[in-house]
Chain A
């Protein structure tokens, strides 16, 4: 049963179609990858799902309920969380408080401050950032800031997690650690939809992959099918 589905999702910027008539679905418990050359419309699609943008036409549903047109905070509270391509942590606030905000405001039902603090600490352990909990977020390394963003997203108790290029800028060791974190998140029962350019990660972790090009979906299938698809190879080699 699809946790997330979109039909005919379209978005224009000026005269240009950033996303054009895209149908997609993500099933419960899956890890689905979203790939495509730069400018293909991947982040725009995520923005449409998370409520940062409103689709021109088409509809997006989460657990059967229409979410396109809702505000980001409403979509977050329904159980969709995301990270951002350019990391958006709350720089001057300590690490713990970054996560705490998620527990306090983003969950489907409210939580007392005491419980929220407990949750936040637990999540910091989960992403292995406990030692840095009092450090201002802006003083963290890029890899750690990405972990922080993930922890903050997880604090909102999502059923669906959107990861936008969470591995960008990471060295091979950090990539491996990130892949391992994603697997652990999936083991918790959270469905994952991820944009990625690091092919090793995509192929290694995803059950299914979607390919966008110039705003349109051009291919969809298992990692093997995508890796051997002529259409996809042409698109990437032609870049």
Chain B
């Protein structure tokens, strides 16, 4: 927890306080970036970009600002900007999946995924491929709501977006995913 005193010392330009703040904030930033960007190669760049934004904007923070939440928003918005630079995948086809991912998909389509013996790596790879077909904002919202199990209100707090925007975005994302599952359910052919 970042104390108000630490923030005051940082705002006063104390070097040691800035170091202390980085130690406190970095794990949270890394965690957020890991949630939204599964590609390992991108993560370090984005963490650096988030810390740079924090460093450049720290003077705009008021003393009563909840600093962790402010940094989380910066992290999520930076991930959002990063995802916008990526080209969205048009759709997932059976041919895009390796055998382990195809097996996980088959299990989910047949309702048999509840067994805990599925391949964890394949599960997350499949999720990434499916989510990569969504718009960046939809990816952020669906990961927070469905994969991180945050409530709508928590998602609003984390992203700074309004509740109607979050709900509509989530609804559209789930409709797109459902359409993909319908298409994939027709089989590899």
A and B assemble together: no
